[in-house]
A and B are shown apart, each in its own frame.
Chain A
Amino acid sequence: MRVTNSMVVNSTLRDLNLSLSRLQDTQTDLTTGRKIRRGSDDPTGASAAMTIRNQLRRAEHEARSLDDAQAWLSSADTALVTGLEVLGAVKETAIRAGNTGSGNALSREALAKSVENMRSDLLTLANTKYLGRPIFNGTAAPNADGNAYDAAGVYGGNGAAVSREIAPNTTVAVNMTGEEIFGVQGAPFGNVFDVLEELASAIRANDTTRMATAQTELETATTRWSASTAEIGSRGARVEQTAFRAADTDLMLRETLSKLEDVDIAAALMSVKANENAYTAALTAAAKVIPPSLVDYLR
């Protein structure tokens, strides 16, 4: 093949250009720290990266949801555990009232008062709020006072579950409704507040039969209460487990994304160096090839 000067110039220019563009590519890899900057860099990798980014952002929201679920459950847990202590004290009082028998009216009145006080303590616990919202109220709007139960122990909420998404497609109910924990209202022995009211009234009236019935009912209410406490506790444990797992998953996703998208700095540096050498070599070769022609040797 006959070789002409323009051929040499063209092909040298092209080679230089290619070499320079490779150098630029690796340099961009290095400066951005990412090897997939756009879909066409690696369609398969980019598609995987998009899915992982999606999962990561999803996980962020789930993490918030998880925190919220934990807060709800621990508020409920604290309230219920405290309530159990109060119930224990009520039981003691009831037994004392039974033992006192037909003691004087003054001491019976004192005992009845103390039961009523503990009833209102329990009502306060039943109106426990998280971020201003009564947590044992289901999904209904709170009553006029912003509570689940009014002073008479009437439940204003509904029986619906409050759900939180704690992992993809996994929801957990972070509440128990008032009626589940405290029982359904109805005189004389509906929910726990009715029972306490009946107990106080029986003590005042010194009616041992009624007191005995109230004590049995109190036992039932306490059992229901402690079962609810256990339920809330186990949900809390589940949410905590999920939180641990979510942290693991998050780490794994970030690692995978980094492997997909991020540049291996050492390899990229080597490749920049190699491309730089190639470019310098091409320049040197061009400098040697282009200038000389017969012109230089004719005198």
Chain B
Amino acid sequence: MASIAGVYTALSGLNAHRRVLDVTAHNVANQATPGFHRQRVDLKAGGLGAVAAVFAGSGQQVGGVVADSVTRIVDQLAEDRYIRESALQAGTQALSNDMNRIELSFAEPSDQGIASLLDGFWGGWTDLATMPGDLATRSQVLERAQTLVDGIRVAAADLQQVATTAQESLVGLAADANDLSSRIAQLNKAILGNPNAANDLIDQRGEALRELAQLTGAVARPSANGTIDVSIGGRTLVSGDIVQRLNGAGGVLTWANDASNVDAGPSRAASLKNTIEVVVPKYLTNLDTVAATLVTDVNALHNAGFAQDGVTTALDFFEPGPPVTAASLALSVDVVGQPENIAAAAAGGASFDGDLALSMAAVADSVTGADTEYRTLIGNLGVETREAFRRESIQENVTQSARATADSVGGVSVDEEMANLMSAQRAYEASARVLTTMDELLGVLMNTGRVGR
């Protein structure tokens, strides 16, 4: 009887180690799969009756090995941290991308930016002061002014474009987030239905959750039954297999069912919102101030001066608004196409007086003038962009270390798998050897009658 049981003990060894080999193969195959965590077969010694053997029954018998569960090895704390840091990184990355675009749209310091256009504009007035009677000189003041106006308007449009791009990308972001949350819900359902073979599903769900967190800053809370509930800003997005939809149309991320705003945590969505609502409006306002200062300063002087005829006065140079913004900046109808209406003279009746043009050129040096405002804008932009770059690079390091920590527990080490492979192979061989031995033993037993004969 015992001998027969031994056959089954050996068989349990063969089965268990085949399983170990399978799982090892699975690990090796998935060593580069994103979100995959290595798995281990839990081997335990089978007690009495644990072996499905008909004849196992009496006395203290050994029962072979049991391999009925496969554990996914994971440090949940490290995983959660990795997800959180990934979300933060997505946020810092989006911000630094936007800052980069804003900075490039100003192209300073260079000989092509608004600063140089401003210099050219004031220089036009210096030239006009030299030759107030020359129509060509007057025309080039207008030309330079128009170039400056175009430059400022283009910069405003570029800035606005950054916000528009962010708004448009919210639409795609909402679609991705909806897709991911549906996937999480489906996986929740699958895991609930198949709790014992869910390791790979959990890995897939973890990866989907990490992507979702990067997009929206979503956080997960595990339930007792193995599913997870996902929420954004305290409001539930996925509960079991029930999903709330997000909507990214109209430049804001909203909940589809009641159109209230999504309160996204640090993430790509939060960063886009910041770009749309804070960063771009701030620099647009700054640029508006530059334009408004320019218009106020120039018009105030220009109104006091006299046109070439020495009589016409109180003319505007720029369209005075109200209110002047960078996007609406324009030359006044008083001077467009009428260079003779540019006021170069400070006194009436003196066609060759260039003193007002001289005073105008000196506005460039005003500490409260457009040039100073613009330089301040560029200075602030430089500091803020640098800060965004630095934060991104720091966050990248932090995320990398969080990933390494999580990976250190759950990642596949090929060396280790090879060692496992070797030991499982040897164990399999040994079990086979035991089976052969049992067979021989039984053979001896069966042939006993003949020996006595």
Give A residues with C-beta under 8 Å from B: 1-7, 10-11, 14, 36, 38-43, 46-47, 49-51, 53-54, 57-58, 60-62, 64-65, 68, 131, 133, 137-141, 158, 160, 162-165, 168-169, 171, 261, 293-295, 298
**Chain A CB within 8 A of B318 CB:** no
Is A47 in contact with B375, judged by CB distance below 8 angstroms? Answer: yes
* 9 closest Cβ pairs, A-B complex: A39-B382, A4-B411, A43-B382, A294-B418, A139-B353, A40-B385, A139-B350, A57-B119, A61-B123
Given contacts A11-B400, A162-B354, contact A40 B389 (CB under 8 A): yes
Is A5 in contact with B109, judged by CB distance below 8 angstroms? Answer: no
Q: Would you give the shortest CB distance from A1 to chain B, in whole angstroms?
A: 5
Is A10 in contact with B407, judged by CB distance below 8 angstroms? Answer: yes
Interface residues on B, range: 35 or more
A50 / chain B contacts, CB cutoff of 8 Å? 108-109, 115, 375, 378
Is A295 in contact with B418, judged by CB distance below 8 angstroms? Answer: yes
Given contacts A6-B32, A293-B415, contact A140 B349 (CB under 8 A): yes
B281 / chain A contacts, CB cutoff of 8 Å? none
Nearest to B386 among chain A residues (CB) is: A40
Q: Which of A57, A141, A295 sits near B351, CB closer than 8 Å?
A: A141
Q: Which of B352, B389, B414, B422 sits near A139, CB closer than 8 Å?
A: B352
A168 / chain B contacts, CB cutoff of 8 Å? 365
Task: Tell me the chain B residues, 179-237 only, with Cβ under 8 Å from chain A.
Answer: none
Given contacts A5-B413, A162-B354, A171-B358, contact A261 B109 (CB under 8 A): yes
A160 to B350, alpha carbons, bound, how many Å? 9
Q: Which of A5, A38, A163, A169 sits near B382, CB closer than 8 Å?
A: A38
Given contacts A10-B407, A47-B379, contact A4 B413 (CB under 8 A): yes
**Chain A CB within 8 A of B404 CB:** yes
Is A162 in contact with B352, judged by CB distance below 8 angstroms? Answer: yes
A11 to B404, alpha carbons, bound, how many Å? 8
B231-271, CB under 8 A of A: which get 1 and which 0?
A: 00000000000000000000000000000000000000000
Task: Tell me the chain B residues, 127-173 only, with Cβ under 8 Å from chain A.
Answer: 127, 129-131, 133
A158 to B104, alpha carbons, bound, how many Å? 52
A293 to B422, alpha carbons, bound, how many Å? 14
Nearest to A261 among chain B residues (CB) is: B109
A68 to B358, alpha carbons, bound, how many Å? 14
A162 / chain B contacts, CB cutoff of 8 Å? 352, 354
